[in-house]
């Protein structure tokens, strides 16, 4: 399908100066949200992540079992939304979380570079789903975006979306730190939505520049504009470098200010994190906790 022409139906990206001003305003607004209740919600929105070269069945099992134990250890705090792992560990996590409401998120499609054959991406995604993934995070082809091959990048997402089935949640990582400019970040977000994603996600966490408030503002504005034209709500996920409660609350406030409180559910807002979980939990309970 030709997607690039649809970009012309939307206003251009805000300037870098406009984005900076918006971020400064929202940083001030975020101060009102720095409280235990907001931190509890941010904790419940986490895709608890382990994406390391030294992951193993044993380490991932321990990781998942620890997350499941949270239901018993902290029954007054909503647990994380999902556990995010490489595709080969989907079945391992499935065994550990069986009988709980926790979802299983798999990165796939040649994560983190997405530089492999489309057929390989589609096969990896389908195998992750077959093994029990509820959600799949893929990477938009950054090389194609940087060279202006917008239709090719979006059509890859469309093909993968079709391979998954509509019941699986798709999150498309635009790797905002590589795209850099508000223009490309906005285009990547819109193209991903045109092609059927359920979430637009900032980053893989595998390059130097991960999530930034500036990218989040541009992405959330694109989500808002797409919703106003289509009536379809697409979620936002901040990932990569989200470590402190202040980081999490800032992204929460960006969503609140641009998209509204109706987006502040775990169906439409996620945080990809590992260290942030301990730090949010410490803020919630009022003392230092190293749970994970």
Q: For the chain, how big is the Rg over CA atoms in Å? A: 18
- φ/ψ of 56, rounded to 5, equals -145, 170
For residues 21 and 145, give the distance between their C-alpha atoms in angstroms, rounded to a whole number.
Answer: 26
Q: What is the pLDDT of residue 1?
A: 83
Question: Quick one: tokens of 184?
Answer: 């490309």
Q: Find the catalytic residue in 47, 171, 201, 247.
A: 201
Per-residue buried b or exposed e for 108-138, using 16+ beta carbons within 10 Å of the residue's own CB: bbbbbebeeebeebbebbbebbebbbbbbbb
Residue 201 is a catalytic residue: yes
Burial of 18 per CB tally in 10 Å (0-12, 13-18, 19+): middle
Domain residue ranges of the chain, discontinuous segments joined by +: 4-285
As a dihedral over the C-alpha atoms of residue 115, residue 153, residue 85, residue 53, rounded to 10 degrees, the angle is 20
DSSP 8-state class, residue 171 = E
Residues pairing with 48 in the sheet: 83, 273
Express each pLDDT in 161-173 by its tens digit.
999 988 999 999 9
Q: Where are the beta strands (DSSP E) in 10-59?
A: 46-49
Identify which has the larger pLDDT, 275 or 193. Answer: 193
Percentage above 90 pLDDT, the chain = 98
Residue 147 is a catalytic residue: no
Q: What is the pLDDT of residue 165?
A: 87
Domain 4-285 is of which CATH architecture? Alpha-Beta Barrel (3.20)
Q: What is the pLDDT of residue 80?
A: 98
Please provide the DSSP assignment of 82-146 as one string: EEEE-GGGHHHHHHHHTTSS-EEEEE-SSTTTT-S-HHHHHHHHHHHHHTT-SEEEEE--HHHHH
Q: Find the catalytic residue in 121, 171, 187, 237.
A: 237
For residues 223 and 179, give the distance between their C-alpha atoms in angstroms, rounded to a whole number.
Answer: 17
Tell me the whole-structure pTM to 2 decimals.
0.97
Q: Find the catalytic residue in 47, 137, 198, 247.
A: 137
Residues pairing with 21 in the sheet: none
Q: What is the chain's mean pLDDT, rounded?
A: 97
pLDDT class for 111, splitting at 50, 70, 90? very high
Q: What is the pLDDT of residue 63?
A: 98
For residues 292 and 69, give the distance between their C-alpha atoms in angstroms, rounded to a whole number.
Answer: 11
Residue 137 is a catalytic residue: yes
As a dihedral over the C-alpha atoms of residue 208, residue 180, residue 172, residue 67, rounded to 10 degrees, the angle is 40
User: What mean pLDDT do residues 270-287 have?
Assistant: 96
For residues 41 and 80, give the distance between their C-alpha atoms in angstroms, rounded to a whole number.
Answer: 9
Express each pLDDT in 1-13 by its tens digit.
899 999 999 999 9
Q: Which residue has the tokens 């991932």?
A: 60
Q: What is the pLDDT of residue 86?
A: 98
Express each pLDDT in 208-261 by its tens digit.
999 999 999 999 999 999 999 999 999 999 999 999 999 999 999 999 999 999
């Amino acid at each position: 399908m030709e997607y690039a022409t649809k970009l012309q139906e939307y206003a251009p990206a805000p300037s870098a100066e406009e984005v900076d001003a918006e971020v400064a305003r929202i940083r001030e607004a975020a101060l009102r949200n720095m409280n235990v209740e907001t931190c509890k919600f941010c904790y419940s929105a986490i895709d608890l992540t382990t994406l390391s070269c030294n992951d193993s069945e044993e380490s991932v099992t321990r990781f998942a079992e620890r997350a499941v134990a949270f239901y018993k250890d902290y029954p007054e705090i909503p647990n994380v939304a999902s556990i995010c792992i490489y595709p080969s560990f989907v079945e391992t996590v499935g065994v550990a979380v069986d009988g709980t409401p926790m979802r299983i998120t798999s990165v796939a499609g040649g994560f983190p570079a997405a530089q492999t054959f489309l057929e390989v991406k589609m096969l990896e995604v389908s195998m992750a789903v077959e093994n029990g993934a509820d959600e799949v995070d893929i990477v938009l082809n950054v090389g194609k975006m940087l060279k202006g091959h917008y239709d090719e990048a979006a059509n890859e997402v469309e093909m993968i979306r079709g391979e998954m089935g509509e019941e699986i949640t798709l999150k498309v990582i635009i790797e905002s730190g590589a795209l850099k400019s508000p223009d490309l970040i906005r285009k990547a977000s819109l193209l991903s939505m045109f092609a059927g994603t359920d979430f637009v996600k900032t980053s893989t966490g595998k390059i130097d520049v991960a999530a930034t408030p500036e990218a989040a503002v541009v992405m959330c504005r694109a989500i808002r504009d797409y919703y106003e034209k289509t009536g379809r709500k697409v979620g936002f996920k901040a990932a990569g470098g989200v470590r402190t409660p202040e980081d999490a609350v800032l992204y929460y406030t960006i969503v609140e200010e641009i998209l509204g409180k109706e987006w502040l559910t775990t169906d439409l807002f996620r945080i990809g994190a590992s260290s942030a979980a301990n730090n949010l939990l410490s803020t919630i309970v009022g003392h230092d906790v190293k749970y994970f």
